Structure 1
Amino acid sequence: MLAILGITTPIFLLIGVGYAARWSGIIQREQLQGVGVFVLYCALPALVIRALTQQPLEEILRLDYLIAYGLGSIVVFSAGLWLCYRLQRQPLNVSAMQALGMAAANSGFVGYPVAAMVIGSPAAVLLALNMLIENLLIIPAALILAEMGNQQGASLWQTVRQTAQNLARNPVLIGLSVGILIALTGLVIPGPVDKAIHMLADAAGPAALFVIGGSLFGLRGKGMARDVGQIVIGKLILHPLAVLVAFLLIPDIEPVYVAGALLFAAAPMISIYPLFGQRYGLAGVSATAMLVATVASFFTLSLMIAGMTLKGWLIM
């Protein structure tokens, strides 16, 4: 257990450093946003490019992994949407945002740093694969449904087109495109450029955790126990369970891929979740859910690592 805490504790200490920096006034909200922009527009794309160019593309783009992780995420998203929209009779935009919180993990800012410490270099490859699922499947589905709920008069085509235009400007997807292009064409990255990419990629994990910690400062919420509770349970428990079941249906997949998928799925929701929530009528709930999920994930991730170690999927 001490070995497991040795992995998870530094990660959450870095989150705590970000929180303390905001609490003490050392860094202001605007400055923290600048660090977040650096991570999103520079460090994470560099990390994805490095992951896609370090080994043959056919070894990276694992269809079995994409199917299993995508299936688990779709199941949780659909279940969350059915629960909120059909059973609880909540508006479509609110239901879509709750389902998004359950099914889209914070792969870049939490999942990757945790997985990198646990499984090592394969974490970067899994980050790229998970980003494909989240940015091309789960997030677009949630945004399209939320826009349909917000704009009852808008056509489905208009909503899809607007969402596609927004995704085309996503820096992580641009990094994915560049990495795949380099891998397909066999281009050789010049030494100084390659070194710069590696330096930026190495900064992604620590800087992302710092931003998450700073973003948690000042979040408050009351009277939201049911909604917050079901989002957090969906994200930290149901999402990993659904991903696990999906991977068990895939024959002959290496344990390191299963372990990595579970670590990513067990991460809290995407970092921009409160921003989406604010836009679609779920501001307080989404911010509080991210705060609770981030704190709770220290315990759930530690327990998951312990369980996978006992199972033999991890060697500590």
Structure 2
Amino acid sequence: MLQILSITAPIFVLIAIGFISSRAGMVSREQIAGMGKFVISLALPALVIKALTERPLHQVFDRNYLLAYGLASLAVFWLGFAFSRWVRKDSLSGSALSGLGMSMSNSGFIGYPIVAMVLGPTAAVGLALGMMVENLLMLPMALALAEAGDQRGAGVGRALLGTFKRLARNPIIIAISLGLLLSLLEIRLPAVPRKAIEMLAMASAPVALFVIGGNLDGLKVGGLFADVAQLSIGKLLLHPLAVLLCLLVLPVQDPALRVAAVLFASAPMMSIYPIIGQRYGLEGRCAAALVASTVLSFLSISVFIGGCTDGSACHPRP
């Protein structure tokens, strides 16, 4: 428990620093929005390129892992989307972001440290496989739906055309395409651009968490309980349970990888979730859901770790 707390505590410290800085007037709302654009336009794309180019794809490829994790994530995404769209009567963009929040984990900044603590080196393989599902399937699909919902007043054809045009200019999509191409061709970046990309990638987590805290200042919690409850339950319970169920149908040979998949899925939603929501005017809802799910994830992840440590596949790191 103390080891997990040592991982999650700095996250809350950075969020608190952002909140206090905004409340004290050290940064303005415009500056916080600018930092959010920095993360989404530069730091996060650098992180994606770094994750996809660190090793050749064939070294980490596991078909059943990808299928199980991908199918489970898709099932939870569409469940969340349908519930938001047709039960709660949310907008297309809001429903897409709800589905994304329930099905895409904070793999790099919360999931990986915890899985590495439990499984050791196997965590890096699970991270690479999970990033392929998240960056090549879940994120582009959610962004496409959210962009389509943002094409207000346009016909279906014009909305689709506008969506694809905007996606083609989206820094995250460009980074995914570039990173995948470099990885497939096994091209190693020269030292200078590789170091620059690593430095930008390192900035994504702290700046994103600072922005989350800043967006919490002045956040009206009224009317957000239903959103927070749906996203937290979907992300912390439904997603890992769906992954576990899919792994029963599509078994992975390495038992440690099976544990890694469930633990990655049990992590809260990605830290840049509110920054993506900022593009559609939903940063308040997304920030509240992220903070709540991150707090609750300490309990849910502890339960999943406690369950997996009873088996021989899950063993403490030496």
- Alignment check: 8 A CA contact 1:113 1:206 kept: no
Within-5 A mapping of 1:46-125:
46-60=46-60, 62-86=62-86, 88=87, 90=89, 93=92, 96-97=95-96, 99-100=98-99, 102-105=101-104, 107=105, 110-118=106-114, 119=116, 121-122=124-125, 125=128
Aligned-residue offset at 1:186:
3.8
TM-score (norm 1): 0.79
- Corresponding position of 2:42: 42
Query: How far apart, CA to CA, are the structure 2 residues paired with 1:164 and 1:238?
Result: 31
- Corresponding position of 2:190: 190
Within-5 A mapping of 1:157-196:
157-196=157-196
Query: How far apart, CA to CA, are the structure 2 residues paired with 1:291 and 1:7?
Result: 15
Distance 1:93 1:176, change over 3 A: closer
- Alignment check: 8 A CA contact 2:82 2:95 kept: no
Query: How far apart, CA to CA, are the structure 2 residues paired with 1:192 and 1:177?
Result: 21
Query: How far apart, CA to CA, are the structure 2 residues paired with 1:285 and 1:209?
Result: 15
Query: How far apart, CA to CA, are the structure 2 residues paired with 1:174 and 1:98?
Result: 20
Letter in 1 for 2:137: I
Matched, 1:130 2:134: yes
Aligned-residue offset at 1:147:
5.9
- Alignment check: 8 A CA contact 1:103 1:138 kept: no
Matched, 1:26 2:26: yes
Aligned-residue offset at 1:95:
7.3
Aligned-residue offset at 1:237:
2.0
Aligned-residue offset at 1:283:
7.9
Query: What do the CA deviations read for 1:240-271 (whole angstroms, capped 9, x no partner)?
Result: 22223223322225434652564355313622
Query: What do the CA deviations read for 1:184-236 (whole angstroms, capped 9, x no partner)?
Result: 33434222222222222233333332222222222112245444422332233
TM-score (norm 2): 0.78
- Alignment check: 8 A CA contact 1:236 1:293 kept: yes
Query: How far apart, CA to CA, are the structure 1 residues paired with 2:229 and 2:296?
Result: 11
Query: How far apart, CA to CA, are the structure 2 residues paired with 1:210 and 1:264?
Result: 24
- Corresponding position of 2:274: 271
Query: How far apart, CA to CA, are the structure 1 residues paired with 2:315 and 2:203?
Result: 25
Query: How far apart, CA to CA, are the structure 2 residues paired with 1:203 and 1:94?
Result: 28
Residue aligned with 2:252, SS: coil
Distance 1:289 1:16, change over 3 A: same
Matched, 1:206 2:206: yes
Distance 1:208 1:261, change over 3 A: farther
Query: How far apart, CA to CA, are the structure 1 residues paired with 2:208 and 2:284?
Result: 23
Aligned-residue offset at 1:114:
0.8
Matched, 1:232 2:228: no
- Alignment check: 8 A CA contact 1:48 1:179 kept: yes
- Corresponding position of 1:220: 220
Query: How far apart, CA to CA, are the structure 1 residues paired with 2:50 and 2:299?
Result: 31
Query: How far apart, CA to CA, are the structure 2 residues paired with 1:101 and 1:23?
Result: 29
Calculate the aligned-residue CA RMSD, in Å. Answer: 3.3
- Alignment check: 8 A CA contact 2:18 2:210 kept: yes
- Alignment check: 8 A CA contact 1:112 1:123 kept: no
Query: How far apart, CA to CA, are the structure 2 residues paired with 1:94 and 1:168?
Result: 18
Query: How far apart, CA to CA, are the structure 2 residues paired with 1:23 and 1:104?
Result: 32
Distance 1:242 1:221, change over 3 A: same
Distance 1:172 1:284, change over 3 A: closer
Distance 1:240 1:142, change over 3 A: farther
Residue aligned with 1:39, SS: helix
Query: What do the CA deviations read for 1:16-40 (whole angstroms, capped 9, x no partner)?
Result: 2222222222222222233323322
Letter in 2 for 1:70: G
Residue aligned with 1:25, SS: coil
Aligned-residue offset at 1:9:
1.8
- Corresponding position of 1:154: 155
Query: How far apart, CA to CA, are the structure 1 residues paired with 2:243 and 2:73?
Result: 7
Further displaced range: 172-181 or 247-256: 247-256
Distance 1:262 1:217, change over 3 A: farther
Query: How far apart, CA to CA, are the structure 1 residues paired with 2:88 and 2:8?
Result: 39
- Which blocks of at least 5 consecutive residues in structure 2 are unaligned? 117-122
